A = this chain, B = another copy of it.
């Protein structure tokens, strides 16, 4: 089976409506597990206080067969390894305070996303691929900004398209000054699409390149070299090609000196020990995936996936030292990793499950107690901070998953603090008033903790609570005034924390009707609707990347000028020029 079939292209739309064909038909499911011992495309060396991560793509190691990953070009498999490296550096290597991102290939940094892979991929795969790669680059910037682990790019050769975008996610970019190495964004001139990994936004809003110069950069396939790249602000430093890794190392060491991460184990010095991230346990069946703290139930008949997060059970750490001893088994970290994997699994492998029902099970007080440990150590402890940052990124992934989110608050649930964010992330929240008939489980409550007031901001930089009450400061203050209180359904409704409250008589019918109604609506229109309603208020680099750049890219990806038989993406490399409908809209 060739790449075309495996990536789902060419199948008639009708073949996919069972939610089981397309990407999944014949192709292996996308898995996000890996570890440095299994990397095929990266070399990671830990040299405290820095790490060296070199791109060394195995051109025969494509995620799907049918294309060669030449010139350090990447596909999803390469990026899954990068995401793993970014994550492990944060948790397993507190002693690393700066990371040099370079290339192991002489005179080539990276040619960006592999074009043959993109040309063969269907639209959903392209969108999911871009979304994931964007999240990985934002995770690098999050590490630079919040974890004291600054990224430095060493461009020892040409960095084009996604290759330069990868560098743009770093804090500092060095470019080889050899008369040939360049940075470029050739997507528009060569492929008829847009740079898909934040390049346009970062050139303008992060690096503040003058817009007419950015226009030149983005329309000239060969890009910009040397002194001009420096003068225009496309890179931060030039270095001789043969010495560029050394120059990057020196720069990284200087940046490491300003980091607030724990001191690392230098020869003769004591340092913080890292937290190893073991492979996730995943019990997967036809209609269910169970990770332990997170269970996903798949209802293909109703197009619904139900994600249930279980709260902490049994004795739990009550301080940072105990949390560190628990390591990857500490509930907030374990639950975040499981939820993150579940989200990615559903995004890539269960495209037709359009609604995700969000549930929780457990003791709200236990969640609140875990939040106490988080809140008390956010500023003082590197590990607790990392766990909170991972929770933040995982919840952002949820916001960006292009699925309708419905939270159900029922007896036995634990929507408190960190887990209350699931309710606040939902498009609609349903809460049962009282108990179920014949069941003596006490009525559900919801509870705010300090974790709802800032440490877990959405992409717009606001807490989900503040975003909910945008322009209504009084309502925000009223909700905050009930911090820590268990709130019954009527109180939660009065405070504006849930959308719908029903009692046992109506609950089942109302929830069923709401899910059926959702499943009857246009999947595309819902994606656009939710993207507009979820991110009110301030805009950030992140909301621009996902809310503006991605929306335009999705549009361009659909157009015959890119994806049609005579379009640029399909004709790239054939020697035949694309044929364009010239009408501008």
Residues of A within 8 A of B (CB): 13, 16-17, 19, 22, 123-124, 127-128, 187-189, 191-194, 200-201, 203-205, 208, 210-216, 218-219, 303, 351-354, 402-403, 426-429, 467-472, 496, 499, 517-518, 521-534, 536-539, 543-544, 547-549, 551-556, 558-562, 567-568, 578-585
Is B188 a contact partner of A561 (Cβ separation < 8 A)?
no
* Contact indicator A523/B581 (Cβ below 8 Å): yes
A62 to chain B, nearest CB (A): 22
Rounded to whole Å, the gap between the CB of A289 and the closest CB of chain B is 18
Determine if B517 and A211 form an interchain contact, defined as CB atoms under 8 angstroms apart: no
Chain B residues contacting A213 (CB-CB under 8 Å) are: 499
Pick the contact of A210 from B204, B402, B496 — CB < 8 Å?
B496
B123, B214, B499, B555: the one contacting A533 at CB < 8 Å is B214
Report chain B residues within 8 Å CB of A551: 548, 551-552, 555
7 new A-B contacts at CB < 8 Å, known A219-B521, A524-B562, A525-B562: A123-B585, A188-B526, A192-B524, A208-B470, A524-B555, A539-B539, A539-B543
Contact B556 A559 (CB under 8 A): no
Which residues of chain B are near A212, meaning CB under 8 Å? Answer: 426-429, 468, 499
* In the complex, residue of chain B having the shortest beta-carbon distance to the beta carbon of A220: B517
CB-based contact B470/A204 at 8 Å: yes
* Contact assessment for A210 and B522 in the assembled complex, using a CB-CB cutoff below 8 Å: no
Set of chain B residues within 8 Å of A215, measured between Cβ atoms? 427-428, 499, 529-530, 533
Chain B residues within 8 Å of A536, by CB: 204-205, 208, 211
B527 contacts A584, C-beta separation under 8 Å: yes
Q: How many copies of the shown chain assemble into the complex?
A: 2
- The answer, among B527, B528, B532, B580, for a CB contact under 8 Å with A522, is B580
Identify the closest chain B residue to A471 (Cβ).
Answer: B208
Is there contact, CB below 8 Å, between A580 and B533? no
Residues in B neighbouring A562, C-beta threshold 8 A: 522, 524-525
Is the Cβ of B193 less than 8 Å from the Cβ of A568? no
Nearest CB of chain B from residue A102's CB, rounded to whole Å: 27
**Does the CB pair A351–B194 fall under 8 Å?**
no
Pairwise interchain contact A210-B583, C-beta atoms closer than 8 A? no
Q: A200-B532, A214-B533, A429-B212 in contact; A17/B524 too (CB < 8 A)? A: no
User: Which residue, of A191, A193, A205, A532, has the highest number of chain B Cβ atoms within 10 A?
Assistant: A532
A556 touches B584 (CB 8 A): no
Q: Are A194 and B532 in contact (CB under 8 A)?
A: yes
Contact in complex: A534, B469 (CB < 8 Å): no
A508 to chain B, nearest CB (A): 20
Q: Smallest Cβ distance from A499 to chain B, in angstroms?
A: 4
Residues of the B chain whose Cβ atoms lie less than 8 Å from the Cβ of A560: 13
Of listed A218, A496, A537, A551, residue having the most chain B CB within 10 A: A551
- Residues of B with C-beta under 8 A to A203: 533
Of A189, A551, A552, A580, most buried by chain B (CB within 10 Å of CB) is A552
From B193, B205, B538, B581, A525 is in contact (CB under 8 Å) with B193
